[in-house]
Structure 1
Amino acid sequence: MSEENITRIYLDGKEIILIGTAHVSRQSADQVKEVIERENPDSVCIELDEQRYQSIMDNNKWKETDIFKVIKEKKATLLLMNLAISSFQNRMAKQFDIKPGQEMIQGIASAKEVGAEIVLADRNIQVTFSRIWHNLGWIGKSQLLTSVFFSIFSKDTISEEELEKMKTQDTLNAVLAEFTASFPKLKTPLIDERDQYLAQKIKDAPGEKVVAVLGAAHVPGITVEIHKEQDLEKLSAVPPKSIVPKIIGWSLPVLIVVLMIFTFSANPSAGLDQAISWILWTGTMAAIGAAVALGHPLAILSAFIAAPITALHPILASGWVSGLVQAFMKRPTIADFETLSEDVFTIKGFWKNKVTRVLLVVVLTNLFGSLGTFIGGADVIRVFLKNF
């Protein structure tokens, strides 16, 4: 058997065998099977967290998703990102007629066959996204979403040579590669911290012989970090929210309201124009967002009604209102969850599936609504300055 993509480390009486894989390579899956059967390890570490493991092991897991709970817990954008990245992986896997994550599935199956303990070695993907999100400003977040979606819906096929190059990346890295080059800070939560987390989990795995199935991007970092002690609790912490956005979030609505009151007291006609402008800009832009998402007419109407109010309250968002209305009027069925993995493969599918339609209504209503708040706020200031 070729030792290509295999790294052996001897540490504290343990033999650790790292297999660097491509997440959509049949050859990688075959190599994982061969190595585990030959080495008969005590433990097999898999580059998965509990959430992704359950998703792989139970294809029906999506059916248990409570879309109302997702919206209320403000996780619509996160779920949409997860689905988007999944569709990118599915596109590659479909082109080469293999199952996404086949090497991880094979690692789990082979570990069970040889009686090895399975260790889920990767950090929770929600923590990783939270730490990535924390490093971005508003513009950066917008660029990240744009970068991900353009990568996903590209119709370009991937050559065998390009697929082999992907053995130096994992799926998340592949989707965000270009963006990470523009924003070097993202390398820390996306790659470096996960290298540290994976290294510690592999090192702590029980037994004297451990096999780890990893995206090859992590192998160089792990070979360095495994010789150090890592603080898993610190690496798993969700970064605290900065107080600055909260101050700005409350200051701007207060400023808008104060300016409206002053304008109305000095010139009631101008104050009325100011209020109408605010309602039309915030409401119309939010409604356009819901309409772009092909939301139900009542979801579009609710976006228009909610936006002028929610724009003045930092804890609320018009997208949550329109999203809940959309979910109520067009409640996703089991069939929608069953076809979710296929539907997210295309732009048309994203808009057709009732699950992703709800998520799109939330995200696009908020996105367009934010633009409306900016324009409407600027017009409020303009009218105020004109009258004082």
Structure 2
Amino acid sequence: MSEENVTRIHIDDREFILIGTAHVSKTSAEEVKEVIEAENPDSVCIELDQGRYNSIVEGNKWKDMDIFKVIREKKATLLLMNLAISSFQNRMAKQFGISPGQEMIQGIDSAKETGADLVLADRNIQTTFSRVWRNIGLKGKALLLMQVIGGIFSKETISEADLEKMKSEDTLNAMLHEFTQSFPRLKKPLIDERDQFLSQKIKEAPGNKIVAVLGAAHVPGIKEEIHNDHDLKRLSQVPPKSNAPKIIAWSIPIIILAIIAYTFYANPSAGIQQSISWVIWNGSLSAIGAAAALGHPITILTAFIAAPITSLNPLIAAGWFAGLMQAYIKRPNVRDFENLTEDVFSVKGFWNNKVTRILLVVVLANLGSSLGTFIGGADVIRLFLENL
């Protein structure tokens, strides 16, 4: 391997050999094999967490997924983002004949062949997503979802120049590159914190000679951070939600209900108008979201009925009820789960696959309901002021 891709760090009597790989390079896997065989290390660290390791070793066992559990545990959006990354990888693979992550697979195989301990050194991707999600606010969340969904359906090809740039980034960073430009503070959870986590895991690996297989983008940060001590427990924590959104979430329905109740007392006909407006705006926009996801007619009706009620209770959401109804009526079969990674590559496949359609129903029905809450709430206030 070219020495420019290998960084050697000595701390006391221990040697750390960092291999800066290109996640979309055809030669990186060969280079990883050469270095591990030549160095015969005590441990091999790879830039994977347990979940991604399981996906590689066992394959994406989508058929074992409980879609009802995904909805109940509020993980539909997270799963949608994971599928977006899969779509992004598939687009690269089809365009350039490249399978991202081959160098990590080679690291796993070479560790077994040489008898080295295998260390999964990266932070859980769900923790990273959660820490990103908590750092971008309501506007940022909307923009991120738009970019993620847009990335799924993008027909734009990746240029050779972009490909070369991606060779120094990891897949997650590459996909969210434009977004991090708009939100610079996301560099901390996406890059800086992962550099700290990776460096600590590498430092804690058993033995005196450690080889670490890393995306090239992480090597400069790890060179600095490996000399410092980092609290893995702190870096793995999902930051607590701010109380402000909770206060706002409960304040809106309380205010709306109070206004409608007072209007009913002062002017019953105006109160009826307010109630109808609230139901129409919430129900219609949530139903439109479910319809945009090509939900079943009963699913669309469920979104319409649920939204005016769930908008008054922050603990539940219209999209969950619509998604569960869609899953009940159009229950995914084994083939839907097995075809997931292929179907997310195209708009037609994404909408036709029963699993992704359920996820879209949840997300879009919730978005419609949220929009309906603001518009319907504003109309309730308008009618209140007009009838004072």
Could you tell me the TM-score, scaled by structure 2's length? 0.98
Q: Give yes or no for contact 1:293–1:364 (8 Å, CA) kept in 2.
A: yes
Q: What is the CA deviation profile of residues 292-332 of structure 1, one whole-angstrom value per residue up to 9, with x for unaligned ones? A: 00011111110000000000000010000000000001111
Q: How many residues align?
A: 388
Match for 1:253: what amino acid? Answer: P
C-alpha distance in 1 between matches for 2:67 and 2:152: 23
Cross-structure match for 2:13: 13
Residue 50 of structure 1 corresponds to: 50
Distance 2:335 2:276 in 1: 43
Question: Does the 8 Å CA contact 1:134/1:239 hold for their aligned counterparts?
Answer: yes
Matched residues in 1 for 2:325 and 2:342: separation?
25
Q: Distance in 1 between matches of 2:13 and 2:166?
A: 33
The 5 Å alignment of 1:1-388 reads 1-388=1-388
**CA apart distance, 1:210:** 0.9
SS in structure 1 at match of 2:214: strand
CA distance in 1, matches of 2:3, 2:163: 19
CA–CA distance in 1 between the matches of 2:56 and 2:134? Answer: 28
Counterpart residue identity of residue 88, structure 2: F
d(CA) in 2 for partners of 1:114, 1:332: 42
Q: How far 1:224 sits from its partner (Å)?
A: 0.3
Which letter does structure 2 place at the counterpart of 1:204?
E
Larger mean Cα displacement after TM superposition, 33-42 or 355-364 = 33-42
Amino acid at match of 2:239: P
In the alignment, the residues of structure 2 paired with residue 161 and residue 51 of structure 1 have an alpha-carbon distance, to the nearest angstrom, of: 31
Deviations 1:90-115 (A, max 9, x none): 21122221323111111111111111
Q: Is the 8 A contact 1:22 1:164 kept in 2?
A: no
Distance in structure 2 (CA, Å) of the matches to 1:288 and 1:346: 22
Contact in 1 for aligned 2:278/2:380 (Cα 8 Å): yes
SS in 2 for 1:370: helix
Q: Distance in 2 between matches of 1:198 and 1:285?
A: 44
The gaps in structure 1 that reach 5 residues or longer are: none
Does the CA-based 8 Å contact 1:54-1:61 persist in structure 2? no
Distance 2:257 2:183 in 1: 37
- C-alpha separation in 1, matches of 2:35 and 2:163: 21
AA aligned opposite 1:243: N
- Give per-residue Cα distances to partners, 1:62-101, cap 9 Å, x unaligned: 1111100000000000010011011101211222213231
Shift of 1:60: 4.7
Q: Distance in 1 between matches of 2:49 and 2:384?
A: 53
CA apart distance, 1:59: 1.5
Q: For the Cα contact (< 8 Å) 1:336–1:355, is it kept in 2?
A: yes
Offset, 1:30: 1.5
**SS of residue in 1 equivalent to 2:295:** coil
Contact 2:24–2:167 (CA under 8 A) maintained in structure 1: no
Deviates more, 1:82-91 or 1:196-205: 82-91
Deviation at 1:243, TM superposition (A): 0.9
Give CA deviations for 1:189-243 in whole Å, capped at 9, x if unaligned. Answer: 0100000000000011111111111111111100000000001010001111111
Q: Structure 1 vs Structure 2: percent identity of aligned residues?
A: 71
**Gaps in structure 2 of 5+ consecutive residues:** none
Take 1:237 and 1:185, find their aligned partners in 2: how far apart are those partners?
18
Q: Distance in 2 between matches of 1:282 and 1:83?
A: 29
CA distance in 1, matches of 2:337, 2:241: 33
In 1: Cα distance, 2:68 partner to 2:40 partner: 45
* Distance in 2 separating the partners of 1:60 and 1:139: 32
After TM superposition, give the deviation of residue 117 of structure 1 in Å. Answer: 0.9
CA distance in 2, matches of 1:22, 1:149: 26
Secondary structure in 1 matching 2:176: helix
CA distance in 2, matches of 1:162, 1:249: 42
- Give CA deviations for 1:20-73 in whole Å, capped at 9, x if unaligned: 122121111121111111111111111110011111111252111110000000
Which residue identity is paired with 1:258? A
Looking at structure 2, the residues matched to 387 and 47 of structure 1 have their Cα atoms a distance apart, in angstroms, of: 63
Q: In the TM superposition, what is the alpha-carbon distance from 1:4 to its structure 2 partner?
A: 2.7
State whether residues 20 and 167 of structure 1, in contact with CA within 8 Å, keep that contact through their aligned partners in structure 2: no
Tell me which amino acid in the other structure corresponds to 1:5: N
How many Å apart are 1:162 and its aligned residue? 2.7
The residue matched to 1:168 in structure 2 has which SS? coil
Q: Is the 8 A contact 2:285 2:371 kept in 1?
A: yes
